[in-house]
Amino acid sequence: MAAENLVVASLIEEGFFPEDRIERVGDMKLGFDIRAHRIVDSSTGEIHIKRIEVKGRIRGQPVRLTTNEWYKAQQLADTYWIYVGWELLGENPEIVKIQNPACTLDHAKREIVAARFFEIPAEAVGVASRQAGANL
């Protein structure tokens, strides 16, 4: 939340307005945390849109994106940003802004595949236990 608050403050400094133009959408599972837009040219209707994935980290920690976040970064290209907040709870917090991370950071990414496991429901264990007891 501290990282998102700093990002919102940064967006306001960039010229985005909080009322109806900066939305926290992280709970919607869209692949990013904040959506912001502003009208660049009212005569043409040109709009500047940012879709921002927010990461708060201790300086030096790797930044991890979920598969969904990475795919959205690829799909949304230049409208997708990562705002990394370094040392947000420290004395010198810093926000680094990276546009189109799927392109900019593709050379540095490393896919991490989580270990697979097999889950057996407790009911099945109970049934198997009762059947084994009956066969003894």
Measured at the CA of 129, the angle between CA 128 and CA 130, to 5 degrees, comes to 95
pLDDT of residue 48 exceeding 70? yes
14-38 confidence digits (pLDDT tens): 989 887 699 999 999 999 999 999 9
| Residue 8 counted as domain residue | yes
Mean pLDDT taken over the chain: 91
| Residue 124 counted as domain residue | no
Q: What's the pLDDT at 31?
A: 96
- pLDDT band for position 135 (50/70/90)? low
pLDDT of residue 131 exceeding 90? no
Q: Model pTM?
A: 0.80
**What is the number of domains present in the chain?**
1
71-97 confidence digits (pLDDT tens): 999 999 999 999 999 998 888 888 999
Run of H or E residues at 131: helix 122-134
| Residue 125 counted as domain residue | no
Residue 74: CB atoms within 10 Å = 15
Q: What is the DSSP letter of 35?
A: E
| Residue 121 counted as domain residue | no
Mean pLDDT of 39-51: 92
Q: What's 16's domain CATH number?
A: 3.40.1350
Q: Range of 94's domain?
A: 2-110
| Residue 35 counted as domain residue | yes
Task: Give 71-74's long-range contacts (Cβ < 8 A, gap of 24+).
Answer: 71/31, 72/30, 72/31, 72/32, 73/31, 73/100, 73/101, 73/102, 74/102
| Residue 104 counted as domain residue | yes
